[in-house]
Structures are given as structure tokens and as C-alpha cells.
Structure 1
Amino acid sequence: MTKAGRILLIALTLLCCAILPAHAGVADAPGENLEISLITYGPGDIYWERFGHDAIELRDTASGEEMNFNYGVFNFDEKNFFFNFARGQMHYLIDAETTTDEENFYAQAGRSVTKQKLAFTPQQAAALRDFLFWNLRPENATYNYDYYVDNCTTRVRDAFDRALGGAIKARLTQLPGGMTYRQQTVRLMSAQPWLMLILDLGLGPYADQPLNAWQESFLPEELQKSIRNITVADGHGGTQPLVQNESLLYPNHLSTPPATPPDLRIPLGMAGLIIAALIVGAWRYARLAYALLGSLFLLLAGLVGLVMLMLWTLTTHHSAWANANLLLFNPLAFLLLRSLWHVRRNIATSRFANSVLALQLIALLIALLMHLLPGVVQQNQPWILLALPCWLALAWSLRKTPPTP
């Protein structure tokens, strides 16, 4: 090779060495260059942000490239999106973007951003990276979202657990959870009282089952707390904490959810007594107001019952199935509307209406006994305290009307 040729070869070699690092990054970095972190975003102000969010950060220590992978993307433009949402068949996606862009978005919204650097061996880090990029493929990116068992946080948790050989699940299934699905939902939604009440009313016994720490880590803040207690193999025959260090990147500037769920028994029990007193008072002194107030209650009871029945029979929202609140509020209420207006004119309640009323009172009694008997899971005391005085006041007023000659 001539001198000029050798110089050209050296120049090309140097050029390749200069170019290759510029193109290296997370996608093709060796495992020993990958740094794995859990990024947790605090709850936001909008109702769909109240549960918080999280992501997996992969960082190539050689090139400095950082990417965040999250499972919380959905598309309003998807065909039949709202119909599928109502049926409980919500399609979510995994997405990836640069860490800076995503974290700036949450910081500007006033939400906290916490980073936990995790202890992964090079082989585990590479396996996690390969799985996430495989998951990004269009044919693998979509999944059927479930609020409690398959959401953007459980997907992050499961990806970590997969790469760590089941170490997270093995530990967390042995630890008890602090709250039930219902308690966590009510706690986090308490900033929107009407939505909180609707969700609590619509949740069935599934939401009251005791949870372990693995199940309760469906929430970002619970996963963030739980992994602090996990140790993993260090690759040299010993163990080490999974969380190597934790740092608050951006502080929270929004109101924080309460540490415990509000007790709904007193406010709903008081509301039931007030409504019952108004029904009885209106029956005595203002029959038109009585008919209007009673009709409003019966319409709401019937509509709520109809929705709960549809959730149970026509959707895959299994957290709403077998809801004992159907004994308190159900479509039978519609059948009593006419009787209220008869009472206004001192017309006796028909035999049919009396039979419907008797069925509803029996349903109330069953609901009360179900709650008092041991072994019943659903915690619906607040709604029993609301419904019981209202139905008793309506039953008294309908039966108290003197019969026609």
C-alpha cells in the first residue's frame, strides 16, 4: 500500500471512530452503558390526572441519550373510541419520547417529578431495553386498558419484573396493601366530590377485596414506595437494594390528595335524613312539592339503577359487576312515579304499586342484612344510610294516604 493509501485509510478509520459515537444511543448501547430509572409524576388537577403517572427512563451513559417509555397514550380519533370506552374496551398504547420533553411537560403543569435510579445488571438492562423496543412495534404497542389490573403503571411494573426475573412480584405479593381499590379511588378523586360519589356508587364488591402490595402498585405513588423495599441480586453472588438513589427533580405545586379516604357515612347519612324529612314535610303541607320531590328521587334512583344494571350485564367493567347498590336504587322506582301524583289528590296507592313498594322494601332489607352478615365484601354503608330513610319516608307517605271510597 502506498503512503498516500495508508494516510487515506487512517483518515477513514478516524472518521468512522468520530461518527459512530454520534449515532450510538439507547437503541444499540451495550447493557453496561444503560442506566434504568423509574420516573414518577404526581397527581394533576384534571380528573383523569388524579391517579398520577409514571414512565421508564433508559439512559445511554456513553452518548447521554435519554428516552422515556410510558404506557398511557390513547387516541380519541380511534374508530368507536367512546363506544368502546363505555363497554370497557379501552385501547391504550406505549409511547417513547426524549426525557427532557416529557419531564418539562409535567413540571410546567406543576406536578412533581421523581426519579429512582434502579440496580439492573447489564444483561437485565439490555433485556428491558429490547423488550421495550419490541413493545413499541405497531403490532405490539396496543393493549386493553383496565383501571386496576392493566394500566400504565402495572405495565411499567410488569416490564421491570420481567427483566428482573420476577423479583418484584415475589416480594410484593408477600406484603399487605394499605387500602382497597375503592379506598384509593375515593381518596384520589376527593378533589372532585361529585365524580368521587359517582365512582363510589358504581363500584361493586370487586373494589373492596383485600389487596397485597403487588396489586396496590397499580398506582404510581404505591409502586414508587413499594420498590424501595426490594433487594435484587448484584451479579456477584450478593444482593443490593433495587433503588440505588432517589431524587426529586421537580417539586409539586398543586394540592395533594389526602392520605386517607374521606368517610362518606356521615354526609350521606345526613343527606338521607334531610331528604326523608323533606318528603314527610311536603306530604303534610305541600302535596305538589311532595310529588315533585318524590318524582325527582324516583327518577334518579331508577336511572342510577339502570346504569348499574347495564354496567353489570353489557360491559366488561368487572369492577362494577354484582353491585349491591342495585338493591337500593333500581328501575323498580319508575313504577312508583304515578302513585306519587295520585297521593297528591288523596287517591289510594294501587295494589300493583303496593306490591312494587313491598319488593323495594324487601330489597332494602336484603341489602341491610348482606352488610351486617359476616363474609360480605362490598362496603356500601354510606349508600345504605342515604337510601334507607328516603325509601322509608316514601313508603310511609304512599301507605298513609286514605283509601278512596
Structure 2
Amino acid sequence: MLVLAMLLAMPPLALAAAAPRIGVMTMQPGEVFFERFGHDAIVVVDPDSGEAVSYNFGFFDPSEPDFLSRFIRGEMMYHLVALPATQDLAQYQAAGRGVSMQWLDLEPDQARALAALLAERARPENSRYRYDYFTANCATQVRDALDTAMGGALKAQLAGRSRGNTYRSEAVRLASPAPWMWLGFDLGLGPYADRALSRWEEAFVPMRLADSLREARNRQGRPLVQSEQELLPHLVAPEPVEAPRRWWPWLLAGLSLAAAIFAARRRPRLLAGFALPLWLLCGLAGALLVFLWGFTAHQAGWANRNLFLLSPLCLLLLPGGIALLRRRVPGRLFRPLLWAVAAIAMLGWILQWLSLQPQYNLSWIALLLPVHVALALALGRRSR
């Protein structure tokens, strides 16, 4: 940690300015699921003592009595904590996560205003904020604090530009090393997550914010980032790279499953053994999507069109599937429900092309629509 302390030390030129030195630390993604998206913090170096304080917006208290219910409802509270920069870095060093520092070229009055703002925000009575993964997280808080100190100049430079990234593309990309995590994001996000983001909005990802800071300018027109330093090397898996998402492999898988289902149409017990876990998963997932839309503040999950594919009606098919598994005739509602599930999935495909605000779920349509239709064709006839 001695090397880190030396790297954080104030140079003589900055001392002469008699203003705090401001830096943005960017932490690379870790291996634990809540570390997948990276992190960042603002470092303020005192001009007199040389003490480096890290203002970290990423703290929460799981021991709060209502923590779990707030997490489920999308009302989780995070905290801003001020701590010595070397202490903040120690946890990332232990995890093997790389950390870089961007020293900013702010005007003295802006640096002092930012230091005062952060010190006030870090007071216990002011430190809490309502967390939102996309719009109010550790990176957006850093972004907003910098923009406030710069009088809105940072947002003015970033808000009108876009690289075409979306909340979904960034979330799925960064979560891709954990299959269950990217699956949850891709199925759980609605059309809100599929609009193209400005550079300002995509700064919810700490690494994207660091990229944008490199291109920003200060009040005098000079580059905002004065210099960069690597404080810690990155020793674990690197950040996932961008890659195009293709839907045709999902279509091949869906058509193959549909062909296998139709080929086994004379073996209802075999089909029931395949369909029962599928219906259970689809029904439970659909019920969860309904809950996210109707009973939580998770705006990114509202109006999710994956409900057309993951219909809660699938749960009503379970008794009929069990009857087939036991060589019995399903009830009268079984066949209409089969076709209702297939028809709803078909409607979701049609809306994909007619909607003015599309949702990127063509891969799931390509996979699940052929399966729902094939099950209706195969088991719908057998149920008579």
C-alpha cells in the first residue's frame, strides 16, 4: 500500500494552486456477481495535508430491518461513505481487481465546490440515496457530482451523443460471465431497456464514464482528464467485450425442438415429461414478470413483452400434463389452454414488428414460439 500512497500524493504544482486535487477512481469488474459491473469513486486530496479521501457511493446496509423488502420492491437505499483512499483500495487489491485513476483538470473554484459538496453529502444525515441500477448507482452519482461542480458542462458535452448502446446490451454484456445473471437481465428487462442511450446515460457503467471523461473538456477548453495512473493491476477475468447478438441460432434451436416434439406426437407421456418442467418454468417466470410490472418500482421491467412467451397460463397446463404422464385424459380446458398459450406467443411475435417501441426479445421469440406451437399441435390433438 506504500506504492499506492505515493501514487496518490499531491505534486508540487497542485500544492501551489491551494485547491484540492480531484481524481476519479475506476475499478474493473470482479468475479462476484455484484462486482460484475465495475465501480468507481471520487478521490479528493487535501492541499495542505496531502490526505486522499475516497468518496464511495457504493455502500449499503443489509442489516436494515426493511432491506430485503426494499430490494424486492426496487426501493433499496445506498450510502455515500468517505474513507481513506488507501483503505478503499485495499479491498480491490485483495480481490485482484484493477484500479485506475483519472486526475481531473478542474478550475480551483470547481474543485473546492466539489470537495465541499462531497463532504456535505457524506454526512450521515445526507448520505442515503435511493438506488436504481440504471439511473442512480455509484457511477451516475459520480457523474452527477462532477457535472454539478462544472455547472452542467459535463452533461452538455455528453447528452447529445450516442454510440447506440442500450441498458439491455450493457447489462447483458457485463453479466455474461454468469449465465443465470445475463439470463435474468435479458428476460426481465422490458422495452424501456432497449432505446439507444446517450453518452451521458450510458455512464451508468463506470468504465463507460471513464471513456467519456477522456473526451470531455473543462471550462478553458482543455482536456478534462489531466493524467491517468494505474493504481492496481487487473488480475482476474477482463471486462467482456462487445459482440453482436444473433437471433438465428435461437431459431435453429427452436425449430429443432419443435420438430422433435412433433415427431414424438404419438408418445404423450414422453412429451408430458418434456413439457411439465417447461410449463413450470414459463409460468413461474411469467408470474415474476407480472410482479415486477405491477407491484415494484423496477421501471426497466415494466410492460415486458416476454410475458407473451412466459405466460402464467402455463401453470394451468400442469394438471393436464400430469394426467398425460399417468396415462389419463386431461380435462376439458387443457386443449383450449394449449392453444391460448400458443396464440399469445404468436401475438407477441406480431407485436414485435408493429410496435413503435420495440423490445429486443427476438431471440426468445425464435426459441419459444415454435415450441409452444408444436406442443399445441401434438398434445392438443391427443387430449381429445
Cross-structure match for 2:232: 250
How far apart are 1:327 and its partner, in Å? 0.6
How far apart are 1:30 and its partner, in Å? 11
Identity %: 39
| Aligned partners of 1:30 and 1:126 also within 8 Å | no
One of 21, 29, 32 as aligned partner of 1:43: 29
> 2:84 and 2:269 mapped to 1: Cα distance?
64
Q: 1:206 to 1:374 in 2, by over 3 A?
A: closer
Q: 1:31 to 1:317 in 2, by over 3 A?
A: farther
What runs of 5+ residues in structure 2 fail to find an aligned partner? 1-14
> 2:325 and 2:102 mapped to 1: Cα distance?
67
> 2:228 and 2:374 mapped to 1: Cα distance?
57
Cross-structure match for 1:160: 146
- Provide the TM-score with structure 2 as the length reference: 0.90
One of 317, 324, 336 as aligned partner of 2:298: 317
> 1:145 and 1:275 mapped to 2: Cα distance?
41
- Work out whether 1:398 is the aligned partner of 2:379: yes
> 1:204 and 1:376 mapped to 2: Cα distance?
10
* Pairing of 1:138-153 with structure 2 (within 5 A): 138-153=124-139
Deviations 1:220-259 (A, max 9, x none): 000000011111223xxxx211111112222211111322
- Work out whether 1:269 is the aligned partner of 2:255: no
Q: 1:284 to 1:31 in 2, by over 3 A?
A: farther
- Provide the TM-score with structure 1 as the length reference: 0.86
Cross-structure match for 1:221: 207
How far apart are 1:284 and its partner, in Å? 2.9
Instruction: Name the SS for the 1:256 alignment partner.
Output: coil
Number of paired residues? 370
Cross-structure match for 2:12: none
How far apart are 1:311 and its partner, in Å? 0.5
Deviations 1:244-294 (A, max 9, x none): 111222221111132214636355434434543454455434x43322221
| Aligned partners of 1:268 and 1:382 also within 8 Å | yes
* Pairing of 1:10-159 with structure 2 (within 5 A): 32-159=18-145
> 2:66 and 2:243 mapped to 1: Cα distance?
35
Deviations 1:11-70 (A, max 9, x none): xxxxxxxxxxxxxxxxxx998331001111111011110110001000123321111001
What runs of 5+ residues in structure 1 fail to find an aligned partner? 1-28
How far apart are 1:339 and its partner, in Å? 2.5
* Pairing of 1:252-401 with structure 2 (within 5 A): 252-261=234-243, 263=245, 265-266=247-248, 268-285=250-267, 287-343=268-324, 350-373=331-354, 375-401=356-382
| Aligned partners of 1:343 and 1:398 also within 8 Å | no
Cross-structure match for 2:5: none
> 2:121 and 2:225 mapped to 1: Cα distance?
24
Query: Which AA in structure 1 matches 2:199?
Result: A
Q: How big is the alpha-carbon RMSD for the aligned residues of Structure 1 and Structure 2?
A: 2.1
Deviations 1:72-95 (A, max 9, x none): 000110112111101111110000
How far apart are 1:353 and its partner, in Å? 2.7
Cross-structure match for 1:173: 159
Q: 1:393 to 1:358 in 2, by over 3 A?
A: closer
Deviations 1:300-330 (A, max 9, x none): 1110100000010010011000000001111
Worse-superposed segment, 348-357 or 176-185: 348-357
Name which one, 1 or 2, has greater alpha-carbon Rg.
Answer: 1
